[in-house]
Amino acid sequence: MSRPVPRDELNLSLAVTSLMKGVVYRDTAETAWRHVLGLAAQVSDYVATLGLTVVIDEAEGYAFLRSKSDDELADLGIGRLVARHQLPLHPSLLLALLRKKLAEHDTSDAGNRLIVTGAQLREMVSPFFPATTNEARIADQADTAIRRVVELGFLRRMPGQDGEYEVRRVIKAYVDAQWLSDLDAHLAEYAEIATEERR
């Protein structure tokens, strides 16, 4: 458990710049995490001027910045700081499957961290690629989807463990419970797309 930073030692610049770089995790950025927590109200006020909100989940140990809705931004008279980009099919599918796996993990008594291997990740997403006899091509496509999810910060390579990844709990904030409850319908859509690509 990290000790709180004394009020007079808190650094708003450190907190905000750490959040601007990406998700701040309690377990990997303890110093920045303590400053974000200690200055949560000030960070919120500061980033609001940029059309952002700060999301802090103390129980799960992460904090990140999220853009306000388009309506809120229009009311403020400012544009979106970061453009939205649609995530390709297979990385978004992998995110959904990982979110479902994390939910299942949380209902079991398997511990706090969910660790998966590269082989497990490829096995999860491979059925949604078009059928081909070229297994190396499917493995390459699956690895591309895995790399993208790592770049987005939802998977973290385990140091010293070749081919093992930790599923970062921030995924719960991006793939919400409603979307997860509709996952079977989404999987059917993905399977249909894969079937059409096979033709």
User: Domain locations in the chain?
Assistant: 7-76, 89-198
- Segment among 13-22, 122-131, 173-182 with least mean pLDDT: 173-182
Q: What gap in Å lies between CA 40 and CA 53, rounded to an integer?
A: 11
Q: What gap in Å lies between CA 89 and CA 194, rounded to an integer?
A: 10
- Segment among 1-10, 118-127, 150-159, 168-177 with least mean pLDDT: 1-10
Q: Is the pLDDT of residue 59 over 80?
A: yes
Q: Determine the average pLDDT of the residues in 59-80.
A: 84
pLDDT for 168: 93
Q: What gap in Å lies between CA 97 and CA 100, rounded to an integer?
A: 5
Q: Is the pLDDT of residue 128 over 70?
A: yes
User: Could you say which of 1.10.10, 1.20.120, 1.10.760, 3.30.310 is the CATH number of the domain covering 7-76?
Assistant: 1.10.10
| CB-based contact 180:99 (threshold 8 Å) | yes
pLDDT for 12: 94
User: Could you say which of 3.40.630, 3.90.25, 3.40.50, 1.10.10 is the CATH number of the domain covering 89-198?
Assistant: 1.10.10
Q: What gap in Å lies between CA 157 and CA 7, rounded to an integer?
A: 34
Q: What gap in Å lies between CA 138 and CA 198, rounded to an integer?
A: 13
